[in-house]
Amino acid sequence: MKLNWKKRLFVFMVSQTVSMLGSSVVSLSLIWYVTLQTNSGLAITGITITTFLPQALVMLMGGVLADRFPLKRIIILSDGFIAFATLSLALLYANGYHSIWWLYIFNSFRSLGSGIQLPATKSILPSFVPENELMRANSYSTTTWSIVQLVSPALAGVALSLFSLSIVLLIDVVTAIIGIGLLCSMPIIHKQRQVSENGFSSLKQGFIYLKKSKNMRTIMSLYTIFSFLVVPASQLTPLLASHNVGDKVWVLTSIEMAFSIGALLGSIYLGYKKITLSYFKLIGYSVCVFGLAMGALIIAKSIGLFFVFMLVMGIGSPLYYTPIITMIQEYSSPIYMGRMFSYLDLFGTLATPLGMLIFAPISNVNLNLSFIIPSISLLFLGAWIFRNQKKIT
């Protein structure tokens, strides 16, 4: 008996949540293991670079593959590749090969697999979800991500305190097997979307499509600008919290949890309630909410206030991100969708180090200023979206 789209969506979400949870727990465990073993900023930088740089390097090629081959197959093979790399590292550490360079090498392999997988994962929902339900389906996806972000730090801490690293690494292997098994049980019809001479030609065609499509240019620009302006909120809030309300570990942990809880609440709201606002109006509201809450952090001198403003920012996050994903799925030509998501992820990834290059030096001069400038900029961006929403749709 064929599964209807709701059942297929449920199976897909469970498979990805299980797999994502294992990967998140292991990624955090690797960072904390390196931190505890070396107490070296250089070593931590190494594990951070091997987590994100390889992923960014292959992301565009991941988009090309997503537009050329069956999406389900890409997700399964990339998840299997990540699991195999993790298993290989676990076996090396179980047999006494404890060099940090093995962590770097196999963490890079894991990152390469993620870079290939991401565009396919975001492109697959229109294969079995009706277009008028994509917004709700994407909100469910954001909800699962928020849950993973909320619980994985605690799980990673417990796992690393009770077991050796080689055992902890096996968590990702087991969850990948479960996720792959669930995905294999779910029928998805593959539609031939693109035949191209080579990968370079496909990248070129994708760039030409992005250049010619007003909708895609607008979406990419808004997402990149937003990702750039919220860098202080994602990277510098622990520093601001330590200045305003204290530098105890439980304080920093609670504010991170506040953002995750807010993102979870925002995602649940989108999934529960049928939104009648236009995508750009919803984005405009979320930008203003995020900007106001981000600026308000400066005056938060108690943990309670800081928690509330972080919670509000968390609520605003899916209200922005979910419509962006939905618009690409609806407005993009199916033959270019994978490449559009690869561009989106690449621009968002590059916005973070660029933002740190700008806002980190400002924070050294005046920490409050590094929040005031992007906060005001977000309010102007929200006002621009409201004023021009009819022109940019």
| C-alpha span between 9 and 19 (Å, rounded) | 15
Q: Where are the domains of the chain?
A: 1-193, 198-393
Residue 113 pLDDT? 94
Domain 1-193 CATH (choose: 3.30.70.100, 1.20.1250.20, 3.40.190.10, 2.60.40.10): 1.20.1250.20
Residue 213 pLDDT? 87
Q: Which two tokens stand for residue 391?
A: 């022109």
Q: Which two tokens stand for residue 168?
A: 């902890």
Q: Which two tokens stand for residue 324?
A: 């962006």
Q: Which two tokens stand for residue 312?
A: 């509000």
Residue 1 pLDDT? 38
Contact assessment for residue 309 and residue 300, using Cβ atoms and an 8 Å cutoff: yes
Q: Which two tokens stand for residue 204?
A: 């070129």
SS3 state of residue 230: coil
**What is the CATH number that goes with domain 198-393?**
1.20.1250.20
Name, in order, each residue with C-beta under 8 angstroms of 268's C-beta and a sequence gap of 6 or more.
139, 143
Residue 188 pLDDT? 77
Amino acid symbol at 281: K
| C-alpha span between 35 and 41 (Å, rounded) | 8
| C-alpha span between 219 and 224 (Å, rounded) | 9
| C-alpha span between 252 and 246 (Å, rounded) | 8
What are the pLDDT tens digits along the chain (393 aa)? 346 888 888 999 999 999 999 998 998 888 878 877 876 657 777 877 888 788 888 888 888 888 888 889 999 999 999 999 999 999 999 998 888 899 999 999 999 999 999 888 988 988 888 888 888 888 888 888 888 888 887 888 888 888 999 999 999 999 999 999 999 988 777 665 555 556 677 778 888 888 888 888 988 999 999 989 998 887 788 778 878 887 675 776 677 788 888 888 888 888 776 667 788 888 998 999 999 999 999 999 888 999 999 999 988 888 888 889 889 988 888 888 888 888 888 888 788 778 878 888 888 889 899 999 999 999 999 999 888 776 655
